[in-house]
Structures are given as C-alpha cells and as structure tokens.
Amino acid sequence: MYTPINGFVEDYHELKGYLLENGQISLENNVENHLKKVMLLSCASYYETQIQEIIKNFVQRNSSDDKVSNFVLKKAISRQYHTYFTWDGNNVNSFLGLFGEEFKKEVSMTISKDEALKEQMRAFLQLGNERNKMVHENFLVYNLEKTFDEIIQLNEKAEKFVVFLRKEFEK
C-alpha cells in the first residue's frame, strides 16, 4: 500500500545517496538528523488521521442521526487524538475502553495472543510517545536517538497495527 510516507522515504534515500556520492558527509549527517524528526512527525500525523477516520467511519456506520455524527466529530475527534492513548504505556486499553468494556476485552485478548501484533502495537505507541516528547521538548534541539531507518521499521510495524484496528472497528 502506497502512502505519502513511502514517497517521503524514497525522497530521503535519493537525497542521502546524492550527498554521499558527492562526498557531503557532514551535510548528510545534518539532513539525517533533521529528516528523521520530520519522518517521526509524519508517521505520527499520518496515524492520527487514520485513527480519526476509523472512528468517524465507525460512528457514521452505527448512527443514522447526523447530529450524533457531528457531535462526535466536533467534540470527540477534533483535537482529541493525543488523549486517546497512554503513549508511554505498553497497551492500548485506554483507547479500546472508550468503546466499552466488551470491545476492550475482546480486542485486548486478540492482541495478547499474537506476538507480532503486540510488537506492532508497541511500535505504534512508541512513535506516538516519541512524537510527544519531541514536540514538547524543543523540536530543533531534541536528541532523537533513533535513526531514520529505525523509524521506518517502527512505521512499518505501526501501520500493520492501524490496519488491524481498522478491521476490528469494521466488524
């Protein structure tokens, strides 16, 4: 599945290759340090829009009343994403619980039985947590210890987790 993030990754590799081919190692290091932050923000922002879309579609499928949908969009979705999750935690129970104890229990059980899915969930949370730290601790000087490629790996796992969530909400 092609996403805008894939295009950004391709551009990054092309730029990095060009700089290295032309002996611009210091410049390549600077580009790496800045673009890995942009990559992290891009991933976090992308997942925010994906989760919001999942919730919006869920509400629209389950309510025929436009007033309900509009209320949810304006008060439960808009500018609320970062309150859905306990970003520094090791599960998404706070988010799942927003949709009832039964849903939380069912989805949590599915996650707990699947090691790959747990790893994908942790990658999703790690991206969100790192994003929060970075934007609240002075973006330009923040020391993001992960490399660009490590962020790509987290993104690939996190994307699978969001696909899993979408399927759970579509049941």
Residue 2 has pLDDT above 80, yes or no: no
Predicted local confidence at residue 3, as pLDDT: 81
State residue 89 phi and psi, 5-degree precision: -90, -175
The pTM (predicted TM-score) of the whole model is 0.92
Question: What is the pLDDT at residue 63?
Answer: 87
The closest alpha carbon to 139, from 27, 49, 34, belongs to 34
SS (H, E, C) 103-135: HHHHHHHHHHCCHHHHHHHHHHHHHHHHHHHHH
Sign of the four-CA dihedral 106, 73, 120, 85:
negative
- Separation CA 80–CA 40 (nearest Å): 19
Q: Model confidence over 29-83: pLDDT tens digits?
A: 999 999 999 999 999 999 999 999 999 999 999 988 889 888 888 888 888 999 9
Geometric angle at alpha carbon 162, from 73 and 67, rounded to 5°: 15
| Domain count for the chain | 1
Residues 100-140 have pLDDT tens digits of: 999 999 999 999 999 999 999 999 999 999 999 999 998 98
Q: What is the pLDDT of residues 83-106, one digit of tens each?
A: 999 999 999 999 999 999 999 999
The domain of 113 spans 4-170
Query: Residues 6 or more apart from 7 whose CB is under 8 A from it?
Result: none
pLDDT at 161 over 80: yes
